[in-house]
Amino acid sequence: MDQTLYLMSFIAVAALATVATRALPFLFLARYSQHPLLEYLGRYLPPVLMVLLVVYAVSDLPMVNQQWVISLGSLVVVAVTQWFSKNALLSITLGSLLYMLLS
């Protein structure tokens, strides 16, 4: 098989699988959109996942050269900015800028 054809077919299959995994839950679960379990998961799962990501990111902070203070300070800036402004782009930008300036 020609290498270009192989790569194009691989990309097509990967794209189809990606679209299918994103669209199929909406197609099959549309009639259950008012189900209490789905409403509960839709309400509480995103914050829980964000907490898990933050804990995972902070768990391996190096405890040398005060790097952990800079990291946790930037994390606090992101959290406070997000809490008050509700603007993810602003909070991520401010936290990243603070981290880069202090590092």
Query: Count of CB atoms within 10 A of residue 98's CB?
Result: 18
Please give the angle made by the CA atoms of 5, 6 and 12, to the nearest 5 degrees: 85
96: helix, coil or strand?
helix
pTM: 0.56
Residue-wise pLDDT tens digits, 50-87 = 889 888 887 877 777 777 888 888 889 999 999 999 89
Residue-wise pLDDT tens digits, 5-45 = 999 999 999 999 999 999 988 888 778 878 888 889 889 99
